[in-house]
Amino acid sequence: MTFFSILCVLVLEQVKALPATRLQALLFAYADWLEEKFNAGERRHGAVAWAVGAGLPAGCMLLLQIGTDLLHPLAGFALDIGVLYLTVGFRQFSHFFTDIHLALRAGEIEQARRLLGEWRGEGVERLSSAEIARLTIETGILSSHRHVFAPLFWFMVAGPAGALLYRLSACLAERWTEAGEVPTERARFGEFSREAFSLVDWLPARLTAITFAIVGDFEDAVFCWRTQAAQWTDTSAGILLSSGAGALGVRLGQPLPGATEIEARPELGLGEEVAVEHLQSAVGLVWRALVLCLMLLALLTVASWVGS
């Protein structure tokens, strides 16, 4: 039933997607409430908050999915679809990508900046058209992994509980880490959540990067992964972006003008500078990766039927 649950959710989301900003706001409000209740400036307080905020809901979900599977297969199927619909969101990021692409093609730079800033939650007023396109591809690659491929991986491994654990872990790690100067107490409080997410994301990030390589330029993707990923501050992001850049045959990363100074970012990838036309190539890469994953899952489903 795993394959059909995923297929149903992907179709359902194309018909009626959840409002991404509202869902993110709810998750961040949840993270803020946990921080307010548990943050006393120590690492152990962050560990307890993560256990209550991510571990406990995932454990309860595991018990619920066991109960629904015992009750009736259709009850378990309905639970799978409901949780996946909340945790997997292709349309939760793709509409930003599409709107930015259309704005850049129409020459509406200010509109593209506004959309990208809303998507990333930070100011991008000083970016040029090429820099907007480059940052849009980077954000799209990371979002496709964290909103689609990684939750689907954990769903296949541990059912709805796995997908829920990943989504909550990603939210807490993101919310309890701030760009720029982070208060010392918050840095210690969020340390455990960042380490927990790195552990949860370790294997999915590498599988997503391998998938990008398979459906893109394999040789360049693997080369960039091996030689450039370690230069990025966030290891998982470095793996995904270097593999994606190599698969697309473009250069990502590179310094960007921040609000007050130039933001230093290592160069990733080989080949051409990113142009607006490469946005469509990035969309194609993500779709090919998703289709490949669905095909493999379908083959495994058929093989399990034949074997039984």
Structural domain boundaries enclosing 244:
2-178+189-307
Query: Does the pLDDT of residue 242 top 60, yes or no?
Result: yes
Query: Does the pLDDT of residue 110 top 80, yes or no?
Result: yes
**Does the residue 184 lie in any domain?**
no
Output the CA–CA distances (angstroms, integers) from residue 275 to 93, 122, 137, 272, 278, in the order listed: 20, 22, 10, 8, 6
Put simply, whether the predicted model's pTM sits higher than 0.85 gets the answer: yes
Residues 6+ apart with CB under 8 A from 235: 198, 229
Candidate ranges 105-119, 199-213, 263-277; pick with highest mean pLDDT: 199-213
**Does the residue 183 lie in any domain?**
no
- Comparing 17 with 260, which gets the higher pLDDT? 17
Query: Does the pLDDT of residue 150 top 80, yes or no?
Result: yes
Mean pLDDT of 146-154: 94
Mean pLDDT of 4-33: 86
Report whether 138 contacts 126 (CB < 8 A): no
Query: Does the pLDDT of residue 37 top 60, yes or no?
Result: yes
The band of 259, judged by pLDDT with boundaries at 50, 70 and 90, is: very low
Mean pLDDT of 14-39: 87
- Tell me what pLDDT residue 308 has: 62
* Total structural domains within the chain: 1
**Does the residue 294 lie in any domain?**
yes
Query: Does the pLDDT of residue 185 top 80, yes or no?
Result: no
- Tell me what pLDDT residue 180 has: 47
Mean pLDDT of 127-156: 93
Mean pLDDT of 131-155: 93
Query: Does the pLDDT of residue 143 top 60, yes or no?
Result: yes
**Does the residue 25 lie in any domain?**
yes
Q: Is 5 exposed, middle or buried (0-12, 13-18, 19+ CB in 10 A)?
A: buried
**Does the residue 14 lie in any domain?**
yes
The band of 123, judged by pLDDT with boundaries at 50, 70 and 90, is: confident
- Tell me what pLDDT residue 16 has: 82
**Does the residue 152 lie in any domain?**
yes
